């Protein structure tokens, strides 16, 4: 017998079949809202405070006032895990503009909708962490920060989805996105790092990327290991010629890229620095965050 899935919707936990929003919700109609993808490890919600802060900052950036406090939101996430017996899993926390009318104006949406789903996720098979991913460069460019700032983890993910659809058509599990100027930005759901001549490079936030929480964790780990870390702009040339390349994200954690656009990167398998950082990350997450 399947276990019931309990989902938080606007102040109460309901079964999945009853977890519904209005067809007039502006999150559905216009992608108007923000979200967080969060991991739980061994009974702790990893860096939950950081995720909550980023959610509230994104809401502030789009002039959306979340109707409960950060402390209350923290309890929503933790209780969602408890209700679903999640000690290792994935949490999706969503805040929409709420129910309005068919017009664009957010002023017609008096109350935001809050949703929290605690479940499990396995983005890539384990063998991919050994062999690495074969990634393509999307023709779809990453949004400029002057249009929709990628630091806002908004419900409007069409920019990323179009690039991911291109990857799907080409049989690739991920797509690398460039800025309008042709600089490396990030993938559709992950940040990117390269190792070149002993240095670890990743694009800076101001180029128009999400300030990833896994990204910042890996930067911290790398610095503690004594690696030379640089947040700097680089191009596809640097990725093609890198010694190693890997992606970071809440769902993917840390995974090697061993082929980009048909160019083999490094030795064609997860490299020693990538493997070392992944091992360190698996230790880093333990006991770090809010206890379930």
Q: Contact 204/233 with Cβ under 8 angstroms?
A: yes
> What are 35's strand-pairing partners?
94
Active site residues: 153
Helix (H) or strand (E) holding 160: helix 158-169
User: H or E segment at 89?
Assistant: strand 89-96
Picking from 228, 233, 159, 217, the residue whose alpha carbon sits closest to that of residue 189 is 159
Q: CA end-to-end span of the chain, whole Å? A: 25
Backbone angles phi and psi of 107, in degrees to 5? -65, -15
What 3-state class would DSSP assign to 192? strand
């Amino acid at each position: 017998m399947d276990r019931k899935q309990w989902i938080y919707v606007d102040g109460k936990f309901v079964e999945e079949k009853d977890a519904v929003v209005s067809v007039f919700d502006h999150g559905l109609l216009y992608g108007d809202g923000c979200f967080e993808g969060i991991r739980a490890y061994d009974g702790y919600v990893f860096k939950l405070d950081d995720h909550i802060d980023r959610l509230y900052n994104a809401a502030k950036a789009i002039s959306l006032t979340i109707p409960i406090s950060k402390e209350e939101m923290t309890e929503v996430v933790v209780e969602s895990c408890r209700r679903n017996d999640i000690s290792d899993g994935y949490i999706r926390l969503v805040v929409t503009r709420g129910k309005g009318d068919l017009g664009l104006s957010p002023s017609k949406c008096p109350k935001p909708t809050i949703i929290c789903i605690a479940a499990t996720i396995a983005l890539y098979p384990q063998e991919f962490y050994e062999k690495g991913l074969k990634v393509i460069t999307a023709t779809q460019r990453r949004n400029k920060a002057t249009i929709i700032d990628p630091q806002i983890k908004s419900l409007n993910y069409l920019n990323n989805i179009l690039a991911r659809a291109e990857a799907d058509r080409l049989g690739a599990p991920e797509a690398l996105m460039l800025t309008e100027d042709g600089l490396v930005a990030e993938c559709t759901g992950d940040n990117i790092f390269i190792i070149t001549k002993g240095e670890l490079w990743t694009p800076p936030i101001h180029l128009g990327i999400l300030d990833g929480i896994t990204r910042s964790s890996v930067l911290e780990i790398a610095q503690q290991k004594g690696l030379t870390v640089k947040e700097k702009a680089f191009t596809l040339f640097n990725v093609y010629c890198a010694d190693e390349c890997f992606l970071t994200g809440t769902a993917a954690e840390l995974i090697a890229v061993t082929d980009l656009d048909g160019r083999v990167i490094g030795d064609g398998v997860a490299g020693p620095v990538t493997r070392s950082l992944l091992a360190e990350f698996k230790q880093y997450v333990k006991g770090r965050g809010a206890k379930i």
